[in-house]
């Protein structure tokens, strides 16, 4: 008994230790998780702070680059006056380029800025707005600004200027109370602010993104944050922001807290072990007598006296349990005798049930079952009832064999019925599906408009190459009450009759909202609320809507879940229109669409397509792709709407080999004439 008490004391102490260790581990994991989240939050805060400082610097640079004296000097080509204003405004260099990317004026003359290609310059001129970004040039990270130059709109020249980021780095280092560095992926220093030198910080920064380092007998926290790639003439364009903050006092406080926590855990463990030993010593003394009586009862001595049954604690419960065991032993002997008396009646009953069930079997199965029954009855002759009390008997085995044979018969019949029903259901579903596809195809063909050639300054043409099965795509264009041209494209996810109804509903909703004078974003937002309110099938739809005013040549465009449109300004000149992106419609009724407005060059051709056209694959698994479509549009000799759709149709036929694709492919061309 003493050994049991000691073992339980040790086990309880081990449990207490395990609980303490588990609590400590969870506490450490929680602290580590909290430290990780804190580090992530601090990293995000540092990035937001850096981005805010860059935004402030960019805002100041936008104001400075529009200085009238600087603009006037650039217009006159006075390099000396430009150099004088650059120093006053904080810029290091400025370059004037034309639309083809050729340098017209550079100050200083030996350092022309060649950081923008022809495409980027074309975007700056087309958007008629100032653009900014980071560049790596001259051995430093600097702020680049590009804006159109000249009173003519759209302008044919662009102003490109760069400005150092020293002020932003110093402000960041001051807020963090440490040092800040801008470095490349190879460790090249592009900017520095703070008391520490990069040579001392670099070994720690190269070990990881968040490390602790000792510099000059003091502890520092070094964080390395990756910034978006920037354009430039040096390195691979990868830029990192490295911040350094002193952590000496925080490390000392953490060490003191860990030592105190360990001491408290040891004291709790010792006190718990001593208390458990005292408690077990007090409890096991009265239980010993009851355990001795239980051992005697297990050996067959039912006359042993059990003391302590009158107690109300655990020892009394154990004594009363022994008495219950003795009573149940006598009850089991009585039950055995009763079971022996009922054995013969049970045997007769089972035999009658087996004969009755055998009548449902075929002739051969019935003969086999009766033969088994006769053999089992012969084998059971001569056995005493007591011998049968622990054995269900051979008749029960035969009964199980017979029941299994009946179940096999019924299972085979049920399988044949299910196969017949499945074949009938499959045929019915196929007929219904074909009807749905036929109805959806007629709905799709009915809503496609003819080419628009009656407007004096506008023309529109559409192309639809349907999928092998109905896919739910459509396009539409029509003139509004004020003479503007509205163009639509859409593609519903999935197929069948539900997609067809969503196609008709989306087209009708957009036409109705456009007739009420709403813009593309408001039309897409209203249509989304209508579609999401009754979308039990969970379908989504990609929609794009644009409105072109023939008088102002201005395009207002909103797209949700469709690719960016193309713009053909002249032969061989194809650009992607930068428009705001929105998620597909029909799923979130609270979604609000965003639109983009821009002026179209005259003449020009706007080309819209759905995702099925760009992503559709031929039998070799090769997608049509945006690059292929750009090449087709760039090789056109005739930029009329009909010529554009005809060229795209020929390209699709060549790519797919005439075979139907899994999704609809559609394209709409809109020509704005002079």
| 427 pLDDT higher than 90 | no
* Domain 54-167 of CATH type 3.30.450.20: yes
Going by C-alpha positions, the residue among 392, 387, 399, 397 that lies closest to residue 340 is: 387
| 226 pLDDT higher than 90 | no
Burial code (b: 16+ CB inside 10 Å, e: under 16) for 186-206 equals eeebbbbbbebebeebeebbe
Asked if residues 612 and 661 have their Cβ atoms less than 8 Å apart, the reply is: yes
Tell me the mean pLDDT in the region 248-256: 71
What is the per-residue pLDDT for 598?
Answer: 92
Q: What is the pLDDT of residues 259-273, one digit of tens each?
A: 777 777 788 777 877
Q: What is the pLDDT of residues 464-511, one digit of tens each?
A: 988 877 777 889 998 888 888 999 999 888 666 677 678 888 888 888
What is the per-residue pLDDT for 345?
Answer: 67
**Regarding beta strands 179-184 and 189-193, do their DSSP bridges make them parallel or antiparallel, or are they unpaired?**
antiparallel
Residue 476's beta-bridge partner residues?
488
- C-alpha distances (whole Å) from 244 to each of 33, 163, 217, 254, 433 are 22, 25, 15, 19, 66
Question: Under 8 Å CB-to-CB from 177, ≥6 apart: which residues?
Answer: 245, 246
Q: How confident is the model at residue 388 (pLDDT cuts 50, 70, 90)?
A: very low
Q: What is the pLDDT of residues 54-109, one digit of tens each?
A: 888 888 888 888 888 888 888 888 888 888 888 888 888 888 888 777 888 888 87
Report the SS3 class of residue 561: coil
| 308 pLDDT higher than 80 | no
Please give the Cα distance from 254 to 266 (Å, whole number). 19
Domain 451-672, CATH among 3.30.230.10, 3.60.40.10, 3.40.30.10, 1.10.238.10: 3.60.40.10
Q: What is the pLDDT of residues 573-588, one digit of tens each?
A: 899 998 998 999 988 8
Phi, psi of 197 (to 5 degrees): -95, 150
| 282 pLDDT higher than 80 | no
| Residue with more model confidence, 374 or 136 | 136
Q: Domain-by-domain residue ranges, the chain?
A: 54-167, 451-672
């Amino acid at each position: 008994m003493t050994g049991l008490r000691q073992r339980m004391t040790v086990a309880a102490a081990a449990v207490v230790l395990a609980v303490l260790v588990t609590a400590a581990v969870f506490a450490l994991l929680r602290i580590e998780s909290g430290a990780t989240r804190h580090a992530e939050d601090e990293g995000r805060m540092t990035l937001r702070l850096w981005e805010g400082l860059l935004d402030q610097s960019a805002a100041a640079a936008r104001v400075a680059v529009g200085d009238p004296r600087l603009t006037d000097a650039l217009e006159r080509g006075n390099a000396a006056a430009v150099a004088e204003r650059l120093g006053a405004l904080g810029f290091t260099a400025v370059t004037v380029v034309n639309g083809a990317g050729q340098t017209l004026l550079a100050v200083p003359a030996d350092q022309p800025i060649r950081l923008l290609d022809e495409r980027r310059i074309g975007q700056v001129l087309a958007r008629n707005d100032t653009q900014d970004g980071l560049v790596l040039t001259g051995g430093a990270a600097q702020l680049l600004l590009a804006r159109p130059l000249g009173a003519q709109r759209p302008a044919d020249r662009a102003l490109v200027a760069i400005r150092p980021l020293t002020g932003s780095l110093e402000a960041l280092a001051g807020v963090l109370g440490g040092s800040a560095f801008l470095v490349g992926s190879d460790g090249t220093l592009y900017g520095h602010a703070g008391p520490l030198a990069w040579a001392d910080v670099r070994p720690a920064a190269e070990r990881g993104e968040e490390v602790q380092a000792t510099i000059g007998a003091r502890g520092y926290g070094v964080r390395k944050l990756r910034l978006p790639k920037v354009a430039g003439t040096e390195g691979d364009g990868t830029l990192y922001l490295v911040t350094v903050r002193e952590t000496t006092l925080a490390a000392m406080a953490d060490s003191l807290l860990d030592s105190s926590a360990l001491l408290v855990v040891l004291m709790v463990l010792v006190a718990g072990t001593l208390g458990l030993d005292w408690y077990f010593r007090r409890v096991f003394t009265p239980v010993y007598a009851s355990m001795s009586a239980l051992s005697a009862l297990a050996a067959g001595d039912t006359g042993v006296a059990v003391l302590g049954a009158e107690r109300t604690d655990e020892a009394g419960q154990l004594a009363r349990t022994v008495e219950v065991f003795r009573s149940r032993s006598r009850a089991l002997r009585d039950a055995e005798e009763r079971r022996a008396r009922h054995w013969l009646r049970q045997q007769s009953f089972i035999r009658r049930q087996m004969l009755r069930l055998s009548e449902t079997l075929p002739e051969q199965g019935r003969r086999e079952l009766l033969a088994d029954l006769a053999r089992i009855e012969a084998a059971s002759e001569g056995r005493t009832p007591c011998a049968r009390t622990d054995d269900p008997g051979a008749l029960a085995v035969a009964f199980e064999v017979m029941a299994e044979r009946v179940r096999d018969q019924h299972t085979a019949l049920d399988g044949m019925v299910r196969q017949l029903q499945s074949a009938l259901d499959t045929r019915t579903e196929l007929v219904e599906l074909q009807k749905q596809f036929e109805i959806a195809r007629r709905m799709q063909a009915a809503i496609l408009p003819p080419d628009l050639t009656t407007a004096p300054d506008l023309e529109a043409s559409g192309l639809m190459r349907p999928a092998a099965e109905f896919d739910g795509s459509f396009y539409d264009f029509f003139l509004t009450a004020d003479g503007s041209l509205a163009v639509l494209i859409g593609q519903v996810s999935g197929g069948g009759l539900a997609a067809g109804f969503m196609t008709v509903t989306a087209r009708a909703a957009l036409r109705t909202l456009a007739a009420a004078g709403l813009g593309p974003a408001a039309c897409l937002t209203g249509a989304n609320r209508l579609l999401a309110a009754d979308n039990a099938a969970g379908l989504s739809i990609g929609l794009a809507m644009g409105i072109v005013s023939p008088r102002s040549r201005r395009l207002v465009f909103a797209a949700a879940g469709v690719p960016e449109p193309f713009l053909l300004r002249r032969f061989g000149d194809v650009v992607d229109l930068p428009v705001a992106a929105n998620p597909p419609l029909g799923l979130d009724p609270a979604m609000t669409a965003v639109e983009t407005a821009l002026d179209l060059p005259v003449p020009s051709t706007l080309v819209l397509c759905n995702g099925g056209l760009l992503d559709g694959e031929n039998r070799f698994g090769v997608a049509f792709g945006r690059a292929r479509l750009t090449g087709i549009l760039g090789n056109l000799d005739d930029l009329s709407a009909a010529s554009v759709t005809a060229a795209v149709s020929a390209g699709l036929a060549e790519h797919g080999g005439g075979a139907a694709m899994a999704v609809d492919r559609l394209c709409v061309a809109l020509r704005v004439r002079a």
